[in-house]
Structure 1
Amino acid sequence: MEAIFYTIDHLGVAVFAISGTLLAFRKKMDGFGVVVLASVTAIGGGTTRDLILDLPVFWVADPNYLYTVLAAAAATIIWMRFRDFIHTTTLLFADAVGLAFFTIMGAQKALENGFPPVIAVVMGTISACFGGMLRDVLARDIPLVLKGELYATTCLAGASAYVLAVQIGPLWALAAGFATTLFLRLAAIKWRWSLPVFPEHGDH
């Protein structure tokens, strides 16, 4: 199982690096901007999680994650050389997949280190959301987590599904957490699902 978790962790880093690179392309950033945006997106959430949990920062302990970021960014740059534009839907889909990967890995790491389930759910959400939030702030976009469609809520649901399914087995937990997060996020994008708190009102 350790090898599976390690591979999934790298997949999550790669997908979020692709997401950051795609946004950098859309914003017409230079090479340095691409690397910064890809790196912040890919490792920002996990770094925040590890600092909060007082654990060794994952990419410092294992620099292979940095190579994954660079490889994913480079592959995306090469691919984008043959395209004139990037559709918003592509950006949102890449972000949703990265969100699902990091939700389960954040929750898994918290549980693995002896933290209670509620902390695992919170850490899954932080791992998934914080890198994308930093990406959007640096790109001067409104962070997706602050927009109307469900975002952080999908991570809370996915992390909760993971924590509950761990009792059945790790593979079941991976599948439940990933599928829940990805389905809810994609559905929220397609049908604009949201959780309004305040009633709509006109300006006075």
Structure 2
Amino acid sequence: MLSADLLGIFFFAVSGSLLAARKGFDIIGSLALAYMTGLGGGIVRDLIIDQGVPNVFVNTIYLLPPFLAAIAVYLMSTHLQKLRYFISLFDAGGLALFCITGTLVALEAGIEPIVAVLLGVATACGGGLLRDITANETPGLFNPRDLYAVPAFLGASVTVLLEMTGWFNLLTATITAVAVFVMRMLAVRFKWSAPLAVRGWSRPSLRLPRSRADNAK
């Protein structure tokens, strides 16, 4: 599970550094968003389950993926013309992995299955939420024209079912992660969304002020 955790951290961290690049932040801002995005969800989870000092502060290997992500984006971002798409791509990879690893950590800590699902979702969404709020973006979790938490919820739920029935293994975990990733990217591609808080209300316009529209390219 450590390798999946580190890979998920790297994916999320890349999305943070890419957003920093899109916003015109310097390398320090890129590192800050990388660490915040990559480690934020796991720290929130570990604090909630009260397992003591969060893993990231115990095992220093967790600090490596965000650093590598920021360096990789620094060296490659000039070749990434569609930054918004790549942010979504790496974010979806982190979401797919963290909804599984977060749920497993909660189950191993003795958390009830339903609560473990919620903690899996919190792990998957926490880093992206911190990233977007810090960068003054509308978080995908609260975007009425996006489907962000639902793929993570389904992935966490399937993880719990697989673990409880004894079917959880590398193959089923991989299939679950791929399914979550594909669902998330399809939601981005086809603008899938959940029902609004009040039935009958219309969704806000997608039209952006010119300056924001230019930044979104």
TM-score (norm 2): 0.85
Runs of 4 or more above 4 Å deviation: none
Q: Deviations over 1:129-161 (max 9, x none)?
A: 011011001111101111122111111111001
Change in CA separation of 1:106 and 1:84 when aligned onto 2, cut-off 3 Å: closer
State the percentage of identical aligned residues: 35
The residue matched to 1:149 in structure 2 has which SS?
A: coil
Please state if 1:165 is matched with 2:201: no
Q: 1:32 aligns with which of 28, 33, 47?
A: 28
Per the TM alignment, residue 170 of structure 1 is displaced from its structure 2 partner at its CA by 2.5
Please state if 1:153 is matched with 2:150: yes
Q: 2:135 aligns with which of 130, 133, 139?
A: 139
Change in CA separation of 1:201 and 1:141 when aligned onto 2, cut-off 3 Å: closer
RMSD over aligned Cα atoms: 1.8
- 5+ residue gaps in structure 1? none
**How many residues end up aligned between the 2 structures?**
198
Q: Deviations over 1:52-106 (max 9, x none)?
A: 00013011011111122111211221112x4374431111111111111111110
What amino acid does structure 2 have at the position aligned with 1:199?
G
Q: Deviations over 1:10-61 (max 9, x none)?
A: 0001111100000000001012111111110000111000000001301101
What amino acid does structure 2 have at the position aligned with 1:170?
N
The residue matched to 1:13 in structure 2 has which SS?
A: helix
* Counterpart Cα distance in 1 of 2:59 and 2:152: 25
Change in CA separation of 1:67 and 1:87 when aligned onto 2, cut-off 3 Å: closer
Aligned counterpart, 1:177? 176
* Counterpart Cα distance in 2 of 1:143 and 1:201: 19
- 5+ residue gaps in structure 2? 204-217
Aligned counterpart, 2:92? 96
TM-score (norm 1): 0.91
